[in-house]
């Protein structure tokens, strides 16, 4: 799974993502993309499942770019642990998604194939997404 190699601090606060994305909201690499319309944390496992579904659906044709990276650790206390005793251990990594963020881009395939692949990938994610194309 995707996770950072180095970190300055091991654990982070939850934070808030109350804005609409301006950076990363336009296609930069491919002709087609998957744009978020919701707001959520997307885990590294969910991102990998979506990426693999795109690659499987296009049968390794074209090129796929992942525009987000899960670099925010989230912690979880062990099951059966009483309250107190500090923050739990790191359970995984997430990326906070805000509306308007491009998650994946694809190039070198037809529009119909790209649309089907992106809708299939969107079904693996916990947010509402839409298919976008270059004008």
Give DSSP secondary structure letters for 81-108: PPS-SS--EEEEEEEEE-TT-EEEEEES
- C-alpha to C-alpha distance for 117 and 124, rounded to whole angstroms: 11
pLDDT for position 20: 84
Neighbouring residues of 82: CB distance < 8 A, sequence distance ≥ 6? none
Neighbouring residues of 52: CB distance < 8 A, sequence distance ≥ 6? none
Model confidence pLDDT, tens digit, residues 10-38:
999 988 878 888 889 999 999 999 999 99
pLDDT for position 16: 82
Q: pLDDT-derived band of residue 2, with 50, 70 and 90 as boundaries?
A: confident
pLDDT exceeds 80 at position 114: yes
- Asked if residue 122 belongs to a domain, the reply is yes
Q: pLDDT-derived band of residue 135, with 50, 70 and 90 as boundaries?
A: confident
- Asked if residue 2 belongs to a domain, the reply is no
- Asked if residue 126 belongs to a domain, the reply is yes
Other CB atoms within 10 Å distance of the CB of residue 30: 21
Q: pLDDT-derived band of residue 77, with 50, 70 and 90 as boundaries?
A: very high
Q: pLDDT-derived band of residue 43, with 50, 70 and 90 as boundaries?
A: very high
Parent domain of 52: 32-75+90-133
Model confidence pLDDT, tens digit, residues 59-70:
888 999 999 999
Whether 21 and 67 have beta carbons less than 8 Å apart is answered as no
Identify the CATH number of the domain in which residue 114 sits.
Answer: 3.90.1170.10
Across-strand partners of 72? 94
Distance set, CA 82 to CA 5, 79, 89 (Å): 32, 9, 14
- Asked if residue 7 belongs to a domain, the reply is no
Q: What is this structure's pTM?
A: 0.89
């Amino acid at each position: 799974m995707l996770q950072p190699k180095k970190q300055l601090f091991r654990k982070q606060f939850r934070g808030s993502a109350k804005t609409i994305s301006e950076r990363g909201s336009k296609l930069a690499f491919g002709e087609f993309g998957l744009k978020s319309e919701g707001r959520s944390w997307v885990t590294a496992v969910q991102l990998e499942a979506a990426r693999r579904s795109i690659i499987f659906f296009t049968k390794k044709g074209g090129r796929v770019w992942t525009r987000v990276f899960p670099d925010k650790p989230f912690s979880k206390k062990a099951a059966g642990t009483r309250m107190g005793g500090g923050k739990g251990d790191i359970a995984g990594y997430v990326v906070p998604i805000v509306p308007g963020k491009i998650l994946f881009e694809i190039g070198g395939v037809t529009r119909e194939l790209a649309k089907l692949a992106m809708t299939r990938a969107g079904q693996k994610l916990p947010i509402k997404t839409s298919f976008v194309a270059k004008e």
